[in-house]
Homo-oligomer: A and B are copies of this chain.
Amino acid sequence: MSAYHPLTEQEAIEIASTLDGFFPSGANLSSREIGDGNLNLVFHITDSVSGKSLIMKQALPYAKVVGESWPLTLDRARIESEKLLLEGELAPGLVPVVYKYDPELYLTIMEDLSDHVIMRQGLIGGTRYPKFADDISTFIARTLFFTSDLGMNQQEKKLQVKAFINPELCKITEDLIFDDPYTDSPNNSFDPAIRDAAEALWQNEQLHLEVAILRDKFLTNAQALLHGDLHTGSVFVTPESTKVIDPEFAYYGPIGFDIGAVIANLLLNFAGQEHWITDAGQRADFRQYLTDTVRDVWNLFDRKFRALWQEQGLDRLASSTPAFKDYYMQRLLQDTIGFAGCKIVRRIVGLSHVVDIDRIPDSAAKEKAQRLALAIGTSLILSNRKAQSIEEVIDIALSQANN
């Protein structure tokens, strides 16, 4: 018999109180459920005496976003906790510390990051994060290199592929990102005002070719252990700190998918700034900050990944063939650009949107932002296999914004 059941707040407190040595004796614990409620319960447990706190995240056996009719394996909680622990080893300080994982309750007990904000919210408020590009590029370079055939034992990697087979969470991505937006799917959701733009996606055969190629890579290219959902809602930040959370979509996939997620969400915010910063000069400044960040994320990733390869590469042939390194990094850039485009498009016409754009109250500004995002996204997809430089991404964003 399984001990699993969704915890009450009182049960969460009881479990937290027994965590070895965390809360001092005499602690007075209280709990608040702070999950967005889509897939998980998230309890914020605080001790009013010591001020100490922690987070308890428990997987729910269904996705509430579409009702209980979309069951989801609890095994994703194991995947998330194992991935978090691995990220903590490979990129120390850039993920919450895991205190404990309870496999029967599918419950991860971890560091409270309440002093951080969700990056998406911070960007909407016009805040800049000067450490972000350096931190996230370290995170992606190290977590991806050391789980790839370049940076880890290739036989152990295969066992890791096996441990992170994640069919149900991958299916969400396969459907919502790589299928629905390109056909008249009942899962799609978009403002009637941009129906013409959505229908244009359904008709564009060149776009379908590129998306089919990217989809195929997502389905078959077991390059490295991805975070799998690395948008700005999965990043907690302060100006001094970056913490990546929520790796429940982790699986072995194409490296560009993680990098593309970061870049896509910076560009979605870029599009949303149509509204959030009203002063034209300030808006242009912040957009330049965003495109500078896109450039920095790629360039720092490229530099760090190459350095790791140079210093710690384990594949003899790959490491001793300079032309292969250049070929490989160029393919990563091209994949990054293609996946970034797919991740932008789905946030405008697909099931799941981003508040950077969806919460724009003025309908004209919102439509303009949506069309801008779609134009950037489709341009990125259409240009991905020809791309030579990250500057092309910035050129596309700026030229579409100035259209």
User: CB within 8 Å of B: which residues of A?
Assistant: 149, 154-156, 158-159, 161-162, 165-168, 170-171, 174, 178-179, 182-183, 205-206, 208-209, 211-213, 215-216, 219-223, 315-318, 320-324, 327-328
Provide 5 A-B residue pairs closer than 8 Å at the C-beta atoms, listed in order of the A residue: A155-B167, A155-B168, A206-B323, A215-B318, A216-B328
A317–B219 Cα distance when bound, in Å, is 13
**CB <8 Å contact, B154 and A216:** no
**CB <8 Å contact, A179 and B216:** no
A154–B218 Cα distance when bound, in Å, is 12
Task: State the Cβ distance, A311 to closest chain B Cβ, in Å.
Answer: 19
**CB <8 Å contact, A179 and B316:** yes
Question: Given known contacts A178-B317, A212-B324, is B167 in contact with A158 (CB within 8 Å)?
Answer: yes
**CB <8 Å contact, A174 and B162:** no
Task: State the Cβ distance, A180 to closest chain B Cβ, in Å.
Answer: 10
**CB <8 Å contact, A318 and B212:** yes
A144–B365 Cα distance when bound, in Å, is 50
Task: State the Cβ distance, A173 to closest chain B Cβ, in Å.
Answer: 11
Residue of B159, B166, B208, B212 near A165 (CB, 8 A) is B159
Task: State the Cβ distance, A303 to closest chain B Cβ, in Å.
Answer: 21
Nearest B residue (CB) for A164:
B162
User: Which chain B residues lie closer than 8 Å to A159 at the CB level?
Assistant: 165, 167
Residue of B165, B212, B320 near A161 (CB, 8 A) is B165
Interface of chain A: mostly helix, strand, loop or mixed: helix
**CB <8 Å contact, A208 and B171:** no
**CB <8 Å contact, B221 and A221:** yes
**CB <8 Å contact, A327 and B209:** yes
**CB <8 Å contact, B158 and A324:** no
**CB <8 Å contact, B215 and A317:** yes
**CB <8 Å contact, B154 and A219:** yes
A323–B213 Cα distance when bound, in Å, is 10
A369–B211 Cα distance when bound, in Å, is 46
**CB <8 Å contact, A321 and B168:** no
A220–B332 Cα distance when bound, in Å, is 14
**CB <8 Å contact, A324 and B209:** yes
User: Which chain B residues lie closer than 8 Å to A174 at the CB level?
Assistant: 154
Residue of B211, B220, B316, B318 near A216 (CB, 8 A) is B318
Question: Given known contacts A155-B171, A209-B327, is B219 in contact with A220 (CB within 8 Å)?
Answer: no
**CB <8 Å contact, A317 and B171:** no
Task: State the Cβ distance, A19 to closest chain B Cβ, in Å.
Answer: 33
**CB <8 Å contact, B327 and A213:** yes
Further 5 A-B residue pairs, CB within 8 A, beyond A205-B323, A212-B318: A158-B167, A158-B170, A209-B323, A212-B327, A216-B324
User: Which chain B residues lie closer than 8 Å to A212 at the CB level?
Assistant: 317-318, 321, 324, 327
Question: Given known contacts A149-B219, A183-B316, A219-B154, is B171 in contact with A205 (CB within 8 Å)?
Answer: no
User: Which chain B residues lie closer than 8 Å to A221 at the CB level?
Assistant: 220-222
User: Which chain B residues lie closer than 8 Å to A324 at the CB level?
Assistant: 208-209, 212-213, 216
**CB <8 Å contact, A149 and B216:** yes
